[in-house]
């Protein structure tokens, strides 16, 4: 233990000592001592977000790409509440996040002052660990515990609540880092049983999720698939999917249950490697919620918190897969598109131009359905998905990913409706000079909900219902919105314009935005 000064300093120094040196924040009065401590702890990079959904989503994007947590700094219950949807997405992504919330001074709580609320009830559902520090002596140790909890497999959001009187009190100590729990090794008999199922001559799918969708997991999975004839698949919305030329290709489970039924028809053994059992995103009248086909056995090779990559490698050895017998994606790019701008031609342009090493934050929704095909053979890149289904994730995640990966181009692919949730991310990107290229697919609607309206069997939808799904009265002008936050922007109405503008944006340092007027249809 080394002597600190006040509690806020001790917390900051403990975070930095544990490797947490980025803090996304939107602070208030109860966090002013943390703000004041920043000048004395310059190792901590503090980044301002103008809404808490930006703060929490950026921490998610940072944690996914850095592999270690950022801290947030949020203002009491209401600040946390504004950030919860993206903490929900981070929880689903199993991203390590140290979620610090300033609270009223302990002695002030009894007054029920205006910002007083039940922080614990708000935080628990999105947190893998929760603690409210009640003494100065405990503050630094609790901070170290929070970092370890966030990083312990399966990683998650560790929430630490700090009363204001502890952050201003003098005499706090800095704590050394605490060790995270290691992942659990999958027992050999589990691997043996799975190997038996895969080599029994029946149709099998090996489904990769969470920690298994990066190159080591993909390579081990591909070895198993090559040796046994199993099909290699990945969950619908991986937190990070590494893909592109020379990487083992993997088919993702579809979003729509009917399409998953087609993908899994006839499968007799479904092996889960850090993936969950496939279920429909929503319930629909008369349709199954569980998407495992009849007569198919589910085998858990690795559960959350297990060493899934180690288990896949052990499985590859057990089935006798040679170390270099894995599938490699052929390099290929689409031609630069011409003619109408629609989801097909926009995807072709992105496939033609995607830079080597790009980090793609994908919240393109319906306009993005042709992207996986168009980018499959592009140079190697990472694909970050909407893990928890709560829209408003994409632009903050892109922001945090750019902070984590300053040498890589981030491509933020946004549907227009989703963009409007956390559009303030652009301001943070401009202020921090982040290399984020944003494409907004302007289709003037909540297009997916038009589809869902008919799929759920809702009766009697007329013009009033339709109006709830339309965004074109007034229409959104993303060029002006971006410029208003200091981000250069242009609008494309043809495939040629889009390709040229995207090429220029990708080559320009700092953030820029291209508004793609893709229209209502898919371009089929
Ligand atoms: C936090 C949150 N609020 C609301 C929804 C419901 N929702 C799902 S998709 C959607 C509209 C998406 O529209 P857009 O982003 O423009 O994509 P498009 O469907 O047009 O491709 C909404 C409101 C949600 N998923 N998450
Ligand atoms: Mg839309």
pLDDT in tens, 296-342: 999 999 999 999 999 999 999 999 999 999 999 999 999 999 999 99
Q: What percentage of the chain reaches a pLDDT higher than 90?
A: 96
pLDDT tier, 523 (very low <50, low <70, confident <90, very high otherwise) = confident
Nearest listed ligand to the Cα of residue 343: 1
How many Å apart are CA 418 and CA 409, to the nearest integer?
21
Give the model's pLDDT for residue 455. 85
Strand partners, 494: 340
Tell me the pLDDT band of 245, cut-offs 50, 70 and 90: very high
Residue 472, SS3?
coil
- Which tokens hold the place of 361? 């934050």
Residue 158 pLDDT > 60 = yes
Query: pLDDT tens digits, residue range 170-210?
Result: 999 999 999 999 999 999 999 999 999 999 999 999 999 99
Our mutation pick for probing the ligand 1 site, out of 85, 448, 451, counting the most ligand atoms within 8 A of Cβ, is 448
User: For residue 237, which ligand has an atom nearest its CA?
Assistant: 1
Looking at residue 94, its pLDDT comes to 98
Residue carrying structure tokens 């959001």:
157
Record the tokens describing residue 402, joined without a space. 């750019």
* pLDDT, position 14: 98
pLDDT tens digits along 267-279: 999 999 999 999 9
- Nearest atom, ligand 1, residue 445 CA: 20
- C-alpha to C-alpha distances, 33 to 5, 55, 396, nearest whole angstrom: 11, 19, 26
215, 356, 410, 489 from 382: Cα distances, Å: 10, 10, 10, 24
Give 37-70 pLDDT, tens digit per residue.
999 999 999 999 999 999 999 999 999 999 999 9
| Closest to 141 (Cα-Cα) out of 103, 172, 98 | 172
Lowest mean pLDDT among 172-186, 225-239, 457-471: 457-471
pLDDT digits over 113-145, tens only? 999 999 999 999 999 999 999 999 999 999 999
Residues within a 6 A CB radius of ligand 1: 85, 365-367, 389-392, 415-418, 443, 445-449
CA distances from 381 to 76, 263, 359 (A): 38, 25, 6
Q: Which residue, among 265, 316, 256, has the nearest Cα to 292 in the 3D structure?
A: 265
Report the b/e string of 203-228 with b at 16+ CB within 10 A.
Answer: bbbbbbbbbbbbeebbbbbbbbbbbb
Q: Using alpha carbons, select from 289, 290, 312 the residue that is nearest to residue 300.
A: 312
Q: What is the secondary structure of 279-306 as a DSSP string?
A: B-SS--TTS-SB-SPTTPEEEEEE-TTB
For the CA of 416, the closest atom of ligand 1 is 16
Query: Ligand 1: which of 361, 446, 451, 475 to mutate, most ligand atoms within 8 Å of CB?
Result: 446
Average pLDDT value for residue range 150-154: 98
Q: Which residues contact 375 (CB under 8 A, 6 or more apart)?
A: 243, 244, 347, 350, 351, 354, 360, 381
For the chain, the average pLDDT equals: 97
The pLDDT of residue 2? 46
Q: Which residues pair with 300 in a beta bridge?
A: 272
Token pair recorded at residue 300: 């858990």
Residue 165 in this model has a pLDDT that exceeds 60: yes
How distant is the alpha carbon of residue 142 from its chain centre?
Answer: 26
* 3, pLDDT greater than 80: no
């Amino acid at each position: 233990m080394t002597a600190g000064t006040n509690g806020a300093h001790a917390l900051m120094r403990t975070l930095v000592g544990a490797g947490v040196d980025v803090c996304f924040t939107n602070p208030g009065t109860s966090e002013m001592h943390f703000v004041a401590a920043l000048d004395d702890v310059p190792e901590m990079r503090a980044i301002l977000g103008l809404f808490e959904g930006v703060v929490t989503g950026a921490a998610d994007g940072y944690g996914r790409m850095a592999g270690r947590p950022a801290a947030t700094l949020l203002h009491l219950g209401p600040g946390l509440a504004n950030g919860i949807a993206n903490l929900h997405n981070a929880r689903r992504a199993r991203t390590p996040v140290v979620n610090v919330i300033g609270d009223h001074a302990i002695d002030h709580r009894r007054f029920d002052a205006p910002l007083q609320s039940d922080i614990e009830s708000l935080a628990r559902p999105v947190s893998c660990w929760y603690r409210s520090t009640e003494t100065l002596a405990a503050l630094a140790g609790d901070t170290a515990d929070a970092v370890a909890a966030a990083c312990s497999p399966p990683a998650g959001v560790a929430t630490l609540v700090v009363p204001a009187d502890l952050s201003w009190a003098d005499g706090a100590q800095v704590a050394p880092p605490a060790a995270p729990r290691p992942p659990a090794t999958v027992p050999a008999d589990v691997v043996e049983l799975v190997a038996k199922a895969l080599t029994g001559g029946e149709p099998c799918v090996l489904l990769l999720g969470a920690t298994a969708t990066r190159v080591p997991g993909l390579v081990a999975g591909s070895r198993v698939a090559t040796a046994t004839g199993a099909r290699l698949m990945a969950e619908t919305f991986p937190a990070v999917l590494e893909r592109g030329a020379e990487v083992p290709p993997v088919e993702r489970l579809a979003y729509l249950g009917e399409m998953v039924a087609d993908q899994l028809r006839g499968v007799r053994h479904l092996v889960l490697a850090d993936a969950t059992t496939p279920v429909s995103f929503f319930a629909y009248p008369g349709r199954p919620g569980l998407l495992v086909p009849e007569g198919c056995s589910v085998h858990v090779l690795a559960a959350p918190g297990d060493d899934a990559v180690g288990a896949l490698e052990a499985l590859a050895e057990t089935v006798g897969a040679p170390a270099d017998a894995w599938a490699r994606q052929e390099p290929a790019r689409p031609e630069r598109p011409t003619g109408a701008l629609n989801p097909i031609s926009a995807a072709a342009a992105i496939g033609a131009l995607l830079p080597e090493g790009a980090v793609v934050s994908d919240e393109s929704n319906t306009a993005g359905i042709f992207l996986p095909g168009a980018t499959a053979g592009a140079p190697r890149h990472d694909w970050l998905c909407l893990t928890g289904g709560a829209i408003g994730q994409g632009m903050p995640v892109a922001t945090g990913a750019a902070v984590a990966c300053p040498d890589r181009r981030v491509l933020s692919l946004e549907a227009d409706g989703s963009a409007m949730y956390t559009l303030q991310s652009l301001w943070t990107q401009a202020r921090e000079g982040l290399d984020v290229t944003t494409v907004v697919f302007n289709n003037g609607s909540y297009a997916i909900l038009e589809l869902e309206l008919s799929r759920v069997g809702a009766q009697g939808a007329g013009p009033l219902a339709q109006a709830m799904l339309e965004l074109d009265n007034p229409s959104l002008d993303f060029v002006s919105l971006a410029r208003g936050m200091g981000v250069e922007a242009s609008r494309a109405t043809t495939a040629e314009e889009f390709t040229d503008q995207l090429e220029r944006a990708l080559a320009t340092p700092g953030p820029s935005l291209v508004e793609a007027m893709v229209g209502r249809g898919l371009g089929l």
